[in-house]
Amino acid sequence: MLVVMKNDATEAHVQAVVREIENLGYRGIPMPGAQRTAVCIIGNKGPVDDSRLLALDGVKETIVVTKPYKLVSRETHPESTIIAIGDVKIGGEKPVIMAGPCAVESEEQAFTIARLVKKCGALVFRGGAFKPRTSPYSFQGLGEEGLKILEKVHNEIGLLIVTEATDHTNIDVVEKYADIIQIGARNMQNYSLLRRAGQASKPILLKRGFAATIDELLMSAEYIMSEGNTQVILCERGIRTFSDNTRNTLDLSAIPSIKEVSHLPTVVDPSHAAGRREYVIPLSKGAIAVGADGLLVEVHHDPSHALSDGMQSLYPEQFARLMKEINNINR
Protein backbone atom coordinates (compact mmCIF):
# COMPACT_ATOMS: atom_id res chain seq x y z
CA MET A 1 0.00 0.00 0.00
CA LEU A 2 1.06 3.56 -0.72
CA VAL A 3 0.11 6.48 1.54
CA VAL A 4 -0.01 9.61 -0.62
CA MET A 5 0.60 12.89 1.19
CA LYS A 6 -0.97 16.23 0.34
CA ASN A 7 1.05 18.85 -1.51
CA ASP A 8 1.42 20.95 1.64
CA ALA A 9 2.29 18.05 3.94
CA THR A 10 5.28 18.78 6.16
CA GLU A 11 8.14 16.51 7.18
CA ALA A 12 6.46 16.19 10.58
CA HIS A 13 3.31 14.89 8.87
CA VAL A 14 5.37 12.33 6.93
CA GLN A 15 7.16 11.12 10.06
CA ALA A 16 3.82 10.79 11.87
CA VAL A 17 2.64 8.49 9.08
CA VAL A 18 5.84 6.43 9.33
CA ARG A 19 5.34 6.04 13.10
CA GLU A 20 1.73 4.96 12.68
CA ILE A 21 2.75 2.38 10.06
CA GLU A 22 5.29 1.02 12.55
CA ASN A 23 2.55 0.90 15.21
CA LEU A 24 0.60 -1.31 12.80
CA GLY A 25 3.56 -3.69 12.67
CA TYR A 26 4.95 -2.74 9.26
CA ARG A 27 7.69 -0.51 7.85
CA GLY A 28 7.12 2.83 6.15
CA ILE A 29 9.60 4.24 3.65
CA PRO A 30 9.13 7.84 2.43
CA MET A 31 9.33 8.21 -1.35
CA PRO A 32 9.75 11.92 -2.28
CA GLY A 33 8.32 12.82 -5.67
CA ALA A 34 8.27 15.86 -7.92
CA GLN A 35 4.83 16.97 -6.69
CA ARG A 36 4.34 15.27 -3.34
CA THR A 37 5.75 12.65 -1.00
CA ALA A 38 4.33 9.17 -0.63
CA VAL A 39 5.07 6.61 2.05
CA CYS A 40 5.38 2.99 0.93
CA ILE A 41 4.24 0.30 3.36
CA ILE A 42 6.35 -2.85 3.31
CA GLY A 43 6.28 -5.98 5.43
CA ASN A 44 2.55 -6.65 5.15
CA LYS A 45 1.48 -10.07 3.95
CA GLY A 46 -2.10 -9.09 3.23
CA PRO A 47 -4.46 -6.08 3.08
CA VAL A 48 -3.72 -3.14 5.38
CA ASP A 49 -6.46 -1.38 7.35
CA ASP A 50 -5.91 2.19 6.19
CA SER A 51 -8.50 3.90 8.42
CA ARG A 52 -5.93 5.04 11.00
CA LEU A 53 -3.64 6.33 8.29
CA LEU A 54 -6.35 8.30 6.46
CA ALA A 55 -7.20 10.07 9.74
CA LEU A 56 -3.70 11.57 10.04
CA ASP A 57 -2.94 15.18 9.12
CA GLY A 58 -1.35 15.65 5.70
CA VAL A 59 -2.63 12.38 4.21
CA LYS A 60 -4.47 12.66 0.89
CA GLU A 61 -5.25 9.02 0.05
CA THR A 62 -4.02 5.45 0.11
CA ILE A 63 -3.40 3.34 -2.98
CA VAL A 64 -3.14 -0.43 -3.16
CA VAL A 65 0.08 -1.52 -4.91
CA THR A 66 -0.60 -4.47 -7.19
CA LYS A 67 3.00 -5.52 -7.88
CA PRO A 68 4.93 -7.81 -5.49
CA TYR A 69 7.82 -5.36 -5.74
CA LYS A 70 6.84 -2.05 -4.20
CA LEU A 71 9.84 0.25 -3.87
CA VAL A 72 11.06 -0.34 -7.43
CA SER A 73 7.58 0.02 -8.97
CA ARG A 74 6.26 3.02 -10.89
CA GLU A 75 3.08 2.62 -8.86
CA THR A 76 4.95 3.97 -5.85
CA HIS A 77 7.36 6.24 -7.74
CA PRO A 78 5.94 7.41 -11.10
CA GLU A 79 8.89 9.64 -12.01
CA SER A 80 12.00 8.00 -13.48
CA THR A 81 14.86 7.93 -11.01
CA ILE A 82 18.09 9.73 -11.88
CA ILE A 83 21.16 8.65 -9.94
CA ALA A 84 23.63 11.53 -9.67
CA ILE A 85 27.25 10.84 -8.78
CA GLY A 86 28.98 14.16 -8.95
CA ASP A 87 28.31 15.57 -12.41
CA VAL A 88 27.38 12.17 -13.86
CA LYS A 89 23.63 11.47 -14.07
CA ILE A 90 22.54 7.91 -14.78
CA GLY A 91 18.96 7.86 -16.01
CA GLY A 92 19.07 11.37 -17.46
CA GLU A 93 18.64 12.53 -21.02
CA LYS A 94 22.02 11.27 -22.22
CA PRO A 95 23.20 7.63 -21.92
CA VAL A 96 26.22 7.11 -19.68
CA ILE A 97 28.98 4.91 -21.07
CA MET A 98 30.95 2.71 -18.67
CA ALA A 99 33.98 1.19 -20.36
CA GLY A 100 37.18 -0.63 -19.52
CA PRO A 101 38.72 -4.08 -19.27
CA CYS A 102 36.99 -7.12 -17.85
CA ALA A 103 39.72 -7.33 -15.21
CA VAL A 104 42.38 -5.02 -13.85
CA GLU A 105 45.67 -6.70 -14.74
CA SER A 106 48.24 -4.03 -13.86
CA GLU A 107 48.49 -0.31 -13.25
CA GLU A 108 49.96 0.25 -16.71
CA GLN A 109 47.11 -1.69 -18.36
CA ALA A 110 44.40 0.12 -16.39
CA PHE A 111 45.80 3.60 -17.02
CA THR A 112 46.35 2.92 -20.73
CA ILE A 113 42.74 1.84 -21.24
CA ALA A 114 41.30 4.51 -18.93
CA ARG A 115 42.95 7.30 -20.91
CA LEU A 116 41.64 5.80 -24.15
CA VAL A 117 38.01 5.46 -23.04
CA LYS A 118 37.92 8.88 -21.39
CA LYS A 119 39.24 10.50 -24.56
CA CYS A 120 36.34 8.90 -26.45
CA GLY A 121 33.71 10.15 -23.99
CA ALA A 122 33.27 7.45 -21.34
CA LEU A 123 32.39 8.77 -17.90
CA VAL A 124 32.79 5.59 -15.84
CA PHE A 125 35.69 3.12 -15.82
CA ARG A 126 34.75 -0.54 -15.46
CA GLY A 127 37.26 -3.12 -14.29
CA GLY A 128 37.11 -6.18 -12.07
CA ALA A 129 39.35 -6.54 -9.02
CA PHE A 130 37.51 -9.64 -7.80
CA LYS A 131 36.53 -11.97 -10.64
CA PRO A 132 34.07 -14.85 -10.20
CA ARG A 133 35.10 -17.30 -12.92
CA THR A 134 33.54 -20.51 -14.17
CA SER A 135 36.89 -22.30 -13.82
CA PRO A 136 38.74 -22.22 -10.48
CA TYR A 137 41.99 -22.15 -12.47
CA SER A 138 41.19 -18.93 -14.36
CA PHE A 139 42.51 -15.51 -13.33
CA GLN A 140 40.54 -14.43 -10.27
CA GLY A 141 41.59 -10.78 -10.15
CA LEU A 142 44.12 -8.75 -8.14
CA GLY A 143 41.84 -8.20 -5.16
CA GLU A 144 42.53 -5.10 -3.07
CA GLU A 145 45.63 -4.35 -5.13
CA GLY A 146 43.31 -3.99 -8.13
CA LEU A 147 41.00 -1.72 -6.15
CA LYS A 148 43.92 0.55 -5.28
CA ILE A 149 44.77 0.78 -8.98
CA LEU A 150 41.14 1.71 -9.72
CA GLU A 151 41.30 4.40 -7.02
CA LYS A 152 44.38 5.87 -8.73
CA VAL A 153 42.50 5.87 -12.04
CA HIS A 154 39.68 7.78 -10.37
CA ASN A 155 41.99 10.31 -8.73
CA GLU A 156 44.39 10.91 -11.60
CA ILE A 157 42.24 10.47 -14.71
CA GLY A 158 38.88 11.60 -13.32
CA LEU A 159 36.64 8.68 -14.20
CA LEU A 160 34.09 7.19 -11.83
CA ILE A 161 34.72 3.54 -10.92
CA VAL A 162 32.32 0.59 -11.15
CA THR A 163 33.63 -2.77 -9.94
CA GLU A 164 32.15 -5.99 -8.63
CA ALA A 165 31.70 -7.24 -5.09
CA THR A 166 31.41 -11.02 -5.17
CA ASP A 167 30.50 -11.87 -1.58
CA HIS A 168 30.47 -10.79 2.06
CA THR A 169 34.22 -11.14 2.32
CA ASN A 170 34.94 -8.27 -0.08
CA ILE A 171 31.93 -5.94 -0.28
CA ASP A 172 33.27 -3.80 2.57
CA VAL A 173 36.56 -3.16 0.80
CA VAL A 174 34.85 -2.65 -2.58
CA GLU A 175 32.57 -0.05 -1.01
CA LYS A 176 35.66 1.77 0.27
CA TYR A 177 37.18 2.19 -3.21
CA ALA A 178 34.32 2.10 -5.76
CA ASP A 179 31.86 4.79 -6.84
CA ILE A 180 29.38 2.12 -7.99
CA ILE A 181 29.25 -1.42 -6.57
CA GLN A 182 28.38 -4.09 -9.11
CA ILE A 183 26.43 -7.21 -8.15
CA GLY A 184 27.07 -9.73 -10.92
CA ALA A 185 24.67 -12.08 -12.67
CA ARG A 186 25.82 -15.05 -10.59
CA ASN A 187 24.86 -13.17 -7.41
CA MET A 188 21.54 -11.68 -8.49
CA GLN A 189 19.72 -14.00 -6.07
CA ASN A 190 22.36 -14.02 -3.35
CA TYR A 191 19.90 -12.47 -0.92
CA SER A 192 22.30 -11.99 1.99
CA LEU A 193 24.67 -10.09 -0.33
CA LEU A 194 21.73 -8.06 -1.68
CA ARG A 195 20.71 -7.08 1.85
CA ARG A 196 24.27 -6.01 2.63
CA ALA A 197 24.34 -3.99 -0.62
CA GLY A 198 21.15 -2.33 0.59
CA GLN A 199 23.07 -1.00 3.57
CA ALA A 200 25.86 0.45 1.42
CA SER A 201 26.33 4.18 0.90
CA LYS A 202 27.22 3.75 -2.78
CA PRO A 203 24.94 3.09 -5.79
CA ILE A 204 24.45 -0.55 -6.76
CA LEU A 205 24.57 -1.85 -10.34
CA LEU A 206 22.53 -5.07 -10.32
CA LYS A 207 22.96 -7.46 -13.25
CA ARG A 208 20.20 -9.76 -14.42
CA GLY A 209 20.89 -13.46 -13.81
CA PHE A 210 21.49 -15.99 -16.60
CA ALA A 211 17.94 -17.35 -16.43
CA ALA A 212 16.12 -14.70 -14.42
CA THR A 213 12.79 -13.22 -15.41
CA ILE A 214 12.18 -9.48 -15.30
CA ASP A 215 10.07 -9.91 -12.16
CA GLU A 216 12.87 -11.85 -10.47
CA LEU A 217 15.35 -9.09 -11.32
CA LEU A 218 13.01 -6.46 -9.89
CA MET A 219 12.43 -8.50 -6.73
CA SER A 220 16.21 -8.68 -6.26
CA ALA A 221 16.34 -4.90 -6.58
CA GLU A 222 13.56 -4.76 -3.99
CA TYR A 223 15.82 -6.62 -1.54
CA ILE A 224 18.43 -3.87 -1.90
CA MET A 225 15.97 -0.98 -1.64
CA SER A 226 14.13 -2.51 1.33
CA GLU A 227 17.35 -2.10 3.33
CA GLY A 228 17.43 1.63 2.62
CA ASN A 229 19.65 2.03 -0.45
CA THR A 230 17.48 3.62 -3.15
CA GLN A 231 20.38 4.08 -5.59
CA VAL A 232 19.93 1.00 -7.78
CA ILE A 233 20.86 0.66 -11.45
CA LEU A 234 19.55 -2.38 -13.32
CA CYS A 235 21.63 -4.10 -16.01
CA GLU A 236 20.51 -6.39 -18.82
CA ARG A 237 23.50 -8.56 -19.82
CA GLY A 238 21.94 -11.36 -21.82
CA ILE A 239 20.21 -14.56 -20.78
CA ARG A 240 20.88 -18.20 -21.57
CA THR A 241 18.76 -19.63 -24.40
CA PHE A 242 18.96 -22.49 -26.91
CA SER A 243 20.99 -20.28 -29.23
CA ASP A 244 24.73 -20.94 -29.26
CA ASN A 245 25.96 -18.41 -31.81
CA THR A 246 26.62 -15.92 -29.01
CA ARG A 247 27.71 -16.27 -25.40
CA ASN A 248 24.25 -15.25 -24.21
CA THR A 249 21.14 -13.82 -25.89
CA LEU A 250 20.69 -10.09 -25.34
CA ASP A 251 17.07 -9.39 -24.39
CA LEU A 252 16.54 -5.90 -25.78
CA SER A 253 12.84 -6.15 -24.97
CA ALA A 254 13.83 -6.10 -21.31
CA ILE A 255 14.60 -2.38 -21.51
CA PRO A 256 11.10 -1.09 -22.43
CA SER A 257 9.55 -3.85 -20.30
CA ILE A 258 11.45 -2.70 -17.20
CA LYS A 259 10.83 0.97 -17.87
CA GLU A 260 7.10 0.32 -18.14
CA VAL A 261 6.87 -1.04 -14.59
CA SER A 262 9.91 0.38 -12.78
CA HIS A 263 11.38 3.83 -12.25
CA LEU A 264 14.98 2.58 -11.90
CA PRO A 265 17.59 3.44 -14.57
CA THR A 266 18.55 0.50 -16.76
CA VAL A 267 21.80 -0.07 -18.63
CA VAL A 268 22.98 -2.83 -20.99
CA ASP A 269 26.16 -4.93 -21.07
CA PRO A 270 26.48 -5.97 -24.73
CA SER A 271 29.94 -7.48 -24.21
CA HIS A 272 28.81 -10.32 -21.95
CA ALA A 273 25.73 -10.85 -24.07
CA ALA A 274 27.70 -11.23 -27.30
CA GLY A 275 30.91 -12.89 -26.19
CA ARG A 276 32.29 -11.75 -29.56
CA ARG A 277 33.56 -8.25 -30.22
CA GLU A 278 32.12 -8.07 -33.75
CA TYR A 279 28.59 -8.09 -32.30
CA VAL A 280 29.17 -5.54 -29.53
CA ILE A 281 28.71 -2.41 -31.63
CA PRO A 282 25.38 -3.38 -33.29
CA LEU A 283 24.00 -4.64 -29.96
CA SER A 284 25.08 -1.40 -28.28
CA LYS A 285 23.32 0.67 -30.91
CA GLY A 286 20.18 -1.42 -30.50
CA ALA A 287 20.28 -0.96 -26.73
CA ILE A 288 20.51 2.82 -27.00
CA ALA A 289 17.75 2.86 -29.63
CA VAL A 290 15.28 1.08 -27.32
CA GLY A 291 15.99 3.48 -24.45
CA ALA A 292 18.88 2.13 -22.38
CA ASP A 293 20.28 4.66 -19.92
CA GLY A 294 23.83 3.56 -20.56
CA LEU A 295 26.22 0.84 -21.65
CA LEU A 296 28.77 -1.33 -19.86
CA VAL A 297 31.36 -2.12 -22.54
CA GLU A 298 34.60 -4.08 -22.35
CA VAL A 299 37.60 -2.40 -24.00
CA HIS A 300 41.22 -3.57 -24.08
CA HIS A 301 44.28 -2.14 -25.84
CA ASP A 302 45.64 -5.67 -26.39
CA PRO A 303 42.72 -8.12 -26.31
CA SER A 304 44.72 -11.12 -27.54
CA HIS A 305 46.75 -10.98 -24.32
CA ALA A 306 43.89 -10.08 -21.95
CA LEU A 307 43.69 -12.26 -18.85
CA SER A 308 39.89 -12.29 -19.04
CA ASP A 309 37.30 -12.05 -21.84
CA GLY A 310 39.66 -10.85 -24.57
CA MET A 311 37.38 -12.18 -27.36
CA GLN A 312 34.57 -9.82 -26.41
CA SER A 313 36.71 -6.75 -25.69
CA LEU A 314 36.67 -3.94 -28.24
CA TYR A 315 39.88 -2.57 -29.69
CA PRO A 316 40.37 1.17 -28.95
CA GLU A 317 39.51 2.14 -32.54
CA GLN A 318 36.29 0.09 -32.36
CA PHE A 319 35.28 1.82 -29.14
CA ALA A 320 35.95 5.22 -30.72
CA ARG A 321 33.68 4.26 -33.62
CA LEU A 322 31.00 3.04 -31.24
CA MET A 323 30.98 6.33 -29.36
CA LYS A 324 30.58 8.30 -32.57
CA GLU A 325 27.75 6.10 -33.85
CA ILE A 326 25.66 6.03 -30.69
CA ASN A 327 25.78 9.82 -30.47
CA ASN A 328 23.64 9.88 -33.63
CA ILE A 329 20.90 7.63 -32.21
CA ASN A 330 17.69 9.22 -30.92
CA ARG A 331 16.23 7.27 -28.01
d(Cα 23, Cα 15) in Å, to the nearest integer? Answer: 12
Both 47 and 103 in one domain: the answer is: no
Both 55 and 87 in one domain: the answer is: no
Both 58 and 92 in one domain: the answer is: no
Judged by DSSP in three states, 302 sits in: coil
Both 239 and 199 in one domain: the answer is: yes
Instruction: Kindly indicate the confidence band of residue 320, based on its pLDDT and cuts at 50, 70 and 90.
Output: very high
Both 130 and 47 in one domain: the answer is: no
What tens digit of pLDDT does each residue of 151-179 get? 999 999 999 999 999 998 899 999 999 99
Radius of gyration of the chain (CA): 21
In a domain, 148, yes or no: yes
Short-list 141, 158, 155, CA closest to 102: 141
CATH number of the domain to which 257 belongs? 3.20.20.70
Q: Which carries the bigger pLDDT value, residue 55 or residue 33?
A: 55
Buried b (16+ CB within 10 A) or exposed e, 256-268: eebbebbbbbbbb
Judged by DSSP in three states, 225 sits in: helix
Q: What is the pLDDT of residue 137?
A: 60
Both 39 and 91 in one domain: the answer is: no
Query: What average pLDDT is seen over the chain?
Result: 93
In a domain, 273, yes or no: yes
Structural domain harbouring 46: 2-63
Both 56 and 138 in one domain: the answer is: no
CATH number of the domain to which 42 belongs? 3.30.70.1140
In a domain, 164, yes or no: yes
Q: What is the pLDDT of residue 177?
A: 97
d(Cα 168, Cα 13) in Å, to the nearest integer? Answer: 38
In a domain, 10, yes or no: yes
Non-local CB neighbours of 22 within 8 Å, separated by 6+ positions: 28
Both 114 and 209 in one domain: the answer is: yes
Out of 34, 63, 92, a domain closes at 63
What tens digit of pLDDT does each residue of 178-214 get? 999 999 999 999 999 999 999 999 999 999 999 999 9
Q: What are phi and psi of 87, to 5 degrees?
A: -90, -5
Q: In what order do the strands lie in the sheet with 2-5?
A: 27-32, 37-42, 2-5, 59-63
Both 21 and 89 in one domain: the answer is: no
Q: What is the pLDDT of residue 123?
A: 98
Q: Which amino acid is at 180?
A: I
Q: Which whole number is the average pLDDT over 287-303?
A: 97
pTM above 0.85, yes or no: yes
Both 135 and 201 in one domain: the answer is: yes
Neighbour tally for 76: CB within 10 Å: 24
In a domain, 71, yes or no: no
d(Cα 99, Cα 122) in Å, to the nearest integer? Answer: 6
Both 27 and 174 in one domain: the answer is: no
| Number of domain units in the chain | 2
Q: What is the pLDDT of residue 317?
A: 97
